[in-house]
């Protein structure tokens, strides 16, 4: 029998009514970092992202743009892909819900649920937010407006098909109890549990007032509700039900990364659908917080969206990938500010790693003509640097098991700090003056080896700088081929390696954080 052998992680599929902002990039970067980290450990990985292309929200955006929905999505999807390329996102698959590979399994699954009596026709009236693509009860509204978008909701009165989700409440509760890792962080798990404990109302799964969706196979006057079509993308990309051999290797998903606003769909609706279909549930639905601007969720709807390109252009994609992961504890909300970005950039990247790289490589060039000397016997100082490297990996690995990126990065940067402090204490320039050749060799080697370790550890975040650093210090092979933790073993740099001087990896930004005028 085929067994699961693939680490499968997903981002939400993004609505394609508009262009990406850094709130979307935040989730996608987080998933990309974890995918890269796992690949570096030799794991087979399926990292999925994509676009959610059906529903009223997209249909209306297309109409406003004067295009039919398919032409609209075909055009906008390219902008999303370009953004992910700009941020070095290494997805293994990109799914679009309008693809035939997706539409057919959606129809198949829902036909099955209909045939087994989990779906029935009923009439319905409710308050709908098109921006959320979600119904709200009157109590959930804030001053009569959508609690997420602060916009008016619409009264929808329709005859719809309903999914008997109420029937699955007990089994869901049982699952939350037996698998505490199913929803993380734990505070969110408790919210989900108390929501389900109040009982579930059957879910309307079809619409008949518009046509932009997957036709309901047994009644083509209706299209599927966009959310149930969307959730199933995770199954489609895993191979259900076109390639069941592949499906067995990939499913269940290890992580669904989702923002807290869409947690209920992933932690309640989705597992209920899977239970009904008799399929295993994902291991962990990992909720994260929002990026806020001026205390509010960054959003295009509210015109607070910042395009990823606006940050990548001045700071570089490495800095963008680093900043959001370091600054905001995954799971919590975090305020975005340019000041914080400039401060982190200067302190951690320019002065921290950048400084270490330029000092070490400049000294190898200056004192040893760019040829790395072998080290003499390690003293306590060198042993301390080696130990700091081991600790950084152990702490980063433990943190990433809990997807605590900020802790992983803090651990790695403690090591960068220790290496910088080591150099300052050893004062290689004094050793050179005093003709203490062996001690100088040891110091230069230790500094260069620290850079090699730093390149290995930072590679999931600093997708451009780490490989550049790796080749500048003459490390063997390609960084992308290196394996953790094996290649972290101290002493991987060969004696005699050609070291090239690196300039400022992260040129400092001026004090006002004026990104247009870079100080060299
Ligand atoms: N299409 C649905 C998801 C379907 S998944 C089967 C959707 N799309 S979305 O484009 O509106 O949002 C996608 C993700 O972006 C959500 O996880 C949401 O939390 C996240 N973010 C949107 N704005 C955000 C911030 N300001 N900050 C962090 N994440 C944010 O919902």
The one-digit pLDDT tens for each residue of the chain (520 residues) are 789 999 999 999 999 998 999 999 999 999 999 999 999 999 999 999 999 999 999 999 999 999 999 999 999 999 999 999 999 999 999 999 999 999 999 999 999 999 999 999 999 889 999 999 999 999 999 999 999 889 999 998 889 999 999 999 999 999 999 999 999 999 999 999 999 999 999 999 999 989 999 999 999 999 999 999 999 999 999 999 999 999 999 999 999 999 999 999 999 999 999 999 999 999 999 999 999 988 888 776 666 789 999 999 999 999 999 999 999 999 999 999 889 999 999 999 999 999 999 999 999 999 999 999 999 999 999 999 999 999 999 999 999 999 999 999 999 999 999 999 999 999 999 999 999 999 999 999 999 999 999 999 999 999 999 999 999 999 999 999 999 999 999 999 999 999 999 999 999 987 655 643 443 3
The token duo for 394 is 């152990």
Point out the catalytic residue in the list 54, 57, 102, 129. Answer: 129
pLDDT per position as a tens digit, 201-256: 999 999 998 999 999 999 999 999 999 999 999 999 999 999 999 999 999 999 99
Kindly report the protein residue whose alpha carbon is nearest to atom 8 of ligand 1.
14
Helix axes 317-327, 405-426, angle to 10 degrees: 110
**Model pLDDT, residue 298:** 78
Residue with tokens 């914080």: 340
Residue with tokens 């100088």: 440
**Model pLDDT, residue 383:** 98
| Ligand 1 neighbourhood includes 10 CB (under 6 angstroms) | no
> Which atom belonging to ligand 1 lies closest to the Cα atom of 230?
6
| Ligand 1 neighbourhood includes 226 CB (under 6 angstroms) | no
What secondary structure, in 3-state letters, does 23-54 show? Answer: HHHHHHHHHHHHHHHHHHCCCCEEEEEEEECC
Distance, CA 30 to ligand 1 centroid (Å)? 13
Q: Rounded to whole angstroms, how far apart are CA atoms 294 and 291?
A: 10
**Model pLDDT, residue 297:** 83
Of 11, 18, 19, 24, the one to substitute when testing ligand 1's pocket (max ligand atoms within 8 A of C-beta) is 24
Model-wide pTM > 0.85: yes
Kindly report the protein residue whose alpha carbon is nearest to atom 16 of ligand 1.
259
Torsion of CA 313, 314, 317, 318, to 10 degrees: 160
Point out the catalytic residue in the list 41, 108, 149, 309. Answer: 149
DSSP 186-201: HHHHHHHHHHHHT--P
**Model pLDDT, residue 516:** 39
**Model pLDDT, residue 413:** 98
| Ligand 1 neighbourhood includes 297 CB (under 6 angstroms) | yes
- Taking a C-beta distance cutoff of 8 angstroms, is the pair 14, 31 a contact? no
């Amino acid at each position: 029998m085929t067994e699961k052998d693939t680490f499968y992680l997903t981002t939400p599929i993004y609505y394609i009514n508009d262009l990406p902002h850094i709130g979307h990039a935040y989730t996608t970067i987080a998933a990309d970092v974890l995918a890269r980290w796992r690949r570096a450990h030799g794991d087979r990985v399926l990292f999925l992202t994509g676009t959610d292309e059906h529903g009223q929200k997209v249909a209306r955006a297309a109409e406003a743009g004067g295009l039919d929905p398919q032409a609209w999505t075909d055009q906008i999807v390219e902008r999303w892909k370009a953004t992910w390329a700009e941020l070095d996102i290494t997805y293994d698959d990109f799914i679009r819900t309008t693809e035939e590979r997706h539409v057919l399994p959606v129809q198949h699954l829902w036909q099955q649920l209909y045939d087994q009596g989990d779906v029935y026709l009923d009439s319905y009236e409710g308050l709908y937010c098109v921006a959320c693509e979600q119904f709200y009860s009157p109590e959930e509204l804030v001053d009569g407006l959508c609690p997420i978008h602060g916009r008016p909701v619409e009264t929808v009165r329709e005859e719809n098909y309903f999914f008997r989700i109420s029937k699955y409440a007990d089994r869901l509760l049982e699952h939350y109890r037996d698998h505490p890792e199913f929803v993380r962080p734990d505070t969110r798990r408790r919210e989900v549990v108390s929501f389900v404990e109040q009982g579930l109302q059957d879910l309307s799964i079809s619409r008949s007032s518009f046509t932009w969706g997957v036709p309901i196979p047994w009644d083509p006057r209706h299209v599927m509700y966009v959310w149930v079509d969307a959730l199933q993308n995770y199954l489609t990309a895993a191979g259900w039900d076109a390639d069941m051999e592949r499906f067995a290797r990939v499913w269940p998903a290890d992580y669904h990364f989702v923002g807290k606003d869409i947690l209920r769909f992933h932690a309640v609706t989705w597992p209920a659908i899977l239970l009904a279909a008799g399929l295993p549930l994902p291991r962990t639905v990992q909720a994260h917080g929002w990026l806020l601007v001026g205390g509010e969720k960054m959003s295009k709807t509210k015109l607070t969206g910042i395009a990823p390109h606006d940050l990548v252009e001045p700071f570089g994609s490495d800095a963008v990938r680093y900043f959001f992961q370091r600054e905001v504890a995954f799971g919590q909300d975090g305020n975005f500010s340019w000041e914080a970005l400039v401060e982190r950039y200067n302190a951690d990247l320019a002065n921290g790693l950048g400084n270490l790289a330029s000092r070490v490589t400049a000294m190898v060039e200056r004192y040893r003509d760019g040829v790395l000397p072998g080290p003499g016997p390690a003293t306590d100082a060198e042993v301390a640097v080696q130990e700091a490297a081991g600790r950084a990996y152990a702490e980063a690995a433990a943190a990433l098991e809990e997807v605590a990126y900020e802790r992983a990065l803090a651990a790695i940067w403690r090591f960068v700090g220790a290496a910088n402090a080591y150099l300052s204490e050893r004062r290689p320039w004094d050793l050179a003056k005093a003709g203490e050749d062996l001690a100088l060799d040891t110091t230069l080697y230790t500094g260069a080896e620290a850079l090699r370790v730093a390149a290995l550890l930072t590679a999931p975040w600093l997708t451009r700088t780490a490989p550049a650093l790796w080749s500048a210090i003459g490390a063997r092979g390609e960084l992308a081929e290196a394996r953790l933790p094996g290649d972290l073993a101290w002493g991987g740099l060969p004696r005699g390696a050609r070291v090239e001087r690196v300039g400022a990896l992260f040129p400092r930004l001026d004090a006002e954080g004026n990104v247009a005028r870079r100080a060299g």
